[in-house]
Structure 1
Amino acid sequence: MKIWFDLSNSPHINMFHDLIKELEGEGHDIIITCRPLANTIDLLQQKNLSFTVIGEHYGKNLYKKIFGYPIRVFQLWMFLKNHRLDLAVSQSSFHSPLVARLLGIPSIYTNDNEHAMGNIPSFIFATQVLIPENLSVEKILKKGSSKIKTKQYPGVKEGIYLWRKSQQVQKKRKELVNDPIKIFVRPEPLTAQYYKGGLNFMDEALIELQNNYAITILPRDNTQKTHYKQSKFSKIIVVEKPLEFDYIAENCTVFIGAGGSMTREIALLGIPTISVYQDELLDVDEYILKKGLMKHEPQLTASKIISFMESISNKNADFELMEKGKEAYYFIKNQILKYNNQ
């Protein structure tokens, strides 16, 4: 089977990497496309995945996004039309289901963000829509999907790929118990259409903490790199290339995340996590908060961070969500293989 994956944002690489490698190992032909958004290209290179960059990202402005949407759809169609594909698979790629429809092939679209407007055409054109069990089906139906093609997978998206490495990460973390405190910070998704929160709102707290703690910023793009390289952040490490996720998870004392996927990833592994997301929380975030896996502090201060660090203890990865992640992985794989020889 010839399967097209459009990996259009950084989190999609971790989500699909193992599945792509397993499918390739079983003889399936995989084609990967991407766009230059956040750390996507760097991560694809880091994971040694073959890919083709198609189109660009049109920034946060809604009108530019609307203008750019049909352009990338056309570019993808032109690139793929002679590849004789059997199936399209994507997570939150708003282009993939429509391109698949134009190519005359089925598509599987997965999503866990009920607030993104780009879901509307994706839900309409997708052959099958897969969402986590904690995301309300009713919210998806209101955005254009149908009960017939919408299915829920166990757990949360991040569990799909974390279940393989949770024990290894915890083992490494126990070896580093006496290490100095290391704070990793993932800034806000500044170019996301759905994000309406503040920008650079953690600056004051980070400046106050940098003299006493090792702080590493994990920027999403060059704008954030430039911002945190100002002299006022002189003692903060700003990484040039994306760090390996395992390195972050194994060495992080406290994680502060202003976005979604990476914050949930760290929290699921039992690592002390603070979400500072300033917009309306997703259903999946509310679920993780209720399970006590992370703290939500949208107006974070240095004193709140210090207080949090004084009370934390490293937990084990959430066993239930790791098991559900394994179930979800094979559920999605089986959904893909249903299209084999159709």
Structure 2
Amino acid sequence: MKIWFDLSNSPHVNMFYQLIKELEADGHEVIITSRPLANTIALLNQKGLTHTPIGEHYGKNIVKKIFGYPIRVYQLYRFLKNKKIDVAVSQSSFHSPVVAKLLGIPSIYTNDNEHAIGNKAGFYCATKVFIPETLAINKIAKNGISSKKIEQYPGVKEGIYLWQKGIAIQNERKNNNDTQINIYIRPEPQTAQYYNGKKNFLDDTIIALQNKYNIIILPRDKAQSEHYHQSKFSNIVVADKPIGFDEIARKCTLFIGAGGSMTRELAILGIPTISVYQDELLDVDRYIIQKNLMFHEKALTPDKVEAFLHNLNNKQPDLELMHKGEAAYKLLKNEILKLQYV
């Protein structure tokens, strides 16, 4: 079977990497398209995944996004039309289900962000819609979208690709030097359509703490990288190239995330995590917070960070979410293989 994955944002690379490698090992052919957004291209290259960049990201400008959307749909269609694809798979790629519809092939569309406007096209055109159990079906099944094609998978999206490594990473963390505090910070997704929060709101806190702790900034793009290379941030480390997730998870004492996916990834592994997300929380974030795997603090001050570190208690990973992640992974793979007969 020939399977097309559209990996159009950084989190999609980690989400589908193991699944892609397993499908290839099973004898299936995988075609990957990508988009130059955040660290997507660099991560794909880092992991050795062959891919074809198609289209561009139009930033936060809604007019550019509207006009740019059909352009990438057409570009993808033109690239794939003679490749005899059997099934399309994507996470939050608003283009993939539409292109699959034009190609006349079945598609699986997964999403856990109920606020993303681009979901509508994905939900309408996809053959199968996968959402986490934390997201109510009635939030998706409306405006003509049938509930029959919606399936809830166990746990959260991040569990789908973390269940195989969670316990191993925690065992490796036992060897960390307790005297060295590494604070990794992922800034806000400034160009995302769904994000309406503040920009650079962590600057004062970072400046106040940079001489006391080892702070590593994980910028999303060139503009953020340039911002944190200013002289006032002279004592922090700016990761100009993507750092492997496993390395971050092993060394991280505290993770501060202003976005979604990476923040949840670290949290469900039992790594101390503070979400500083400025916009309305997703249902999946509320779920993780309720489980005490993540704290949410919009107005994070240096004193609050100090207090959090003082009371730090690094919990073991929630085995329930690891087990649910394994079940969700197998469910997703089985559904992909079943679609070849649709």
Q: Are 1:106 and 2:142 counterparts?
A: no
Task: Give 1:176's aligned residue.
Answer: 176
C-alpha spacing 1:175/1:37, structure 2 compared with 1 (3 Å): same
Q: Are 1:46 and 2:60 counterparts?
A: no
Shift of 1:323: 0.2
Task: Give 1:116's aligned residue.
Answer: 116
Shift of 1:139: 1.0
Shift of 1:341: 4.6
Superposition pairs of residues 10-49 of structure 1, within 5 angstroms: 10-49=10-49
- Counterpart CA distance in 2 for 1:101 and 1:180 is 52
1:235-290 residue CA offsets vs partner (Å, 9 max, x unmatched): 01001110000000000000000000000000001111000000000000000000
Q: How many residues align?
A: 342
| Aligned residue identity for 1:63 | V
SS in 2 for 1:207: helix
- Counterpart CA distance in 1 for 2:40 and 2:322 is 25
Superposition pairs of residues 268-279 of structure 1, within 5 angstroms: 268-279=268-279
Whether contact under 8 Å (1:123, 1:144) holds in the other structure is no
Superposition pairs of residues 1-342 of structure 1, within 5 angstroms: 1-142=1-142, 145-342=145-342
- Counterpart CA distance in 1 for 2:216 and 2:140 is 37
- Counterpart CA distance in 2 for 1:287 and 1:24 is 34
| Aligned residue identity for 1:87 | V
Shift of 1:145: 2.9
C-alpha spacing 1:206/1:143, structure 2 compared with 1 (3 Å): farther
Whether contact under 8 Å (1:258, 1:275) holds in the other structure is yes
SS in 2 for 1:255: strand
| Aligned residue identity for 1:260 | G
Shift of 1:143: 6.1
- Counterpart CA distance in 2 for 1:123 and 1:166 is 31
SS in 2 for 1:190: coil
SS in 2 for 1:3: strand
| Aligned residue identity for 2:295 | K
- Counterpart CA distance in 2 for 1:68 and 1:142 is 26
Whether contact under 8 Å (1:129, 1:145) holds in the other structure is no
Q: Greater shift after overlay, 140-149 or 168-177?
A: 140-149
| Aligned residue identity for 2:130 | L
SS in 2 for 1:315: coil
TM-score (norm 2): 0.99
**Structure 2, gaps ≥5 residues long:** none
- Counterpart CA distance in 2 for 1:232 and 1:287 is 37
- Counterpart CA distance in 1 for 2:120 and 2:13 is 23
SS in 2 for 1:340: helix
1:72-116 residue CA offsets vs partner (Å, 9 max, x unmatched): 000000000000110100000000000000000011000000000
- Counterpart CA distance in 1 for 2:234 and 2:145 is 49
SS in 1 for 2:339: coil
1:184-211 residue CA offsets vs partner (Å, 9 max, x unmatched): 0000001100001000000000000001
Whether contact under 8 Å (1:69, 1:95) holds in the other structure is yes
Whether contact under 8 Å (1:119, 1:143) holds in the other structure is no
Whether contact under 8 Å (1:6, 1:90) holds in the other structure is yes
| Percent of residue pairs bearing the same amino acid type | 65
1:115-144 residue CA offsets vs partner (Å, 9 max, x unmatched): 000001110111110000001111112365
Root-mean-square deviation over aligned CA pairs: 0.9
TM-score (norm 1): 0.99
- Counterpart CA distance in 2 for 1:284 and 1:144 is 24
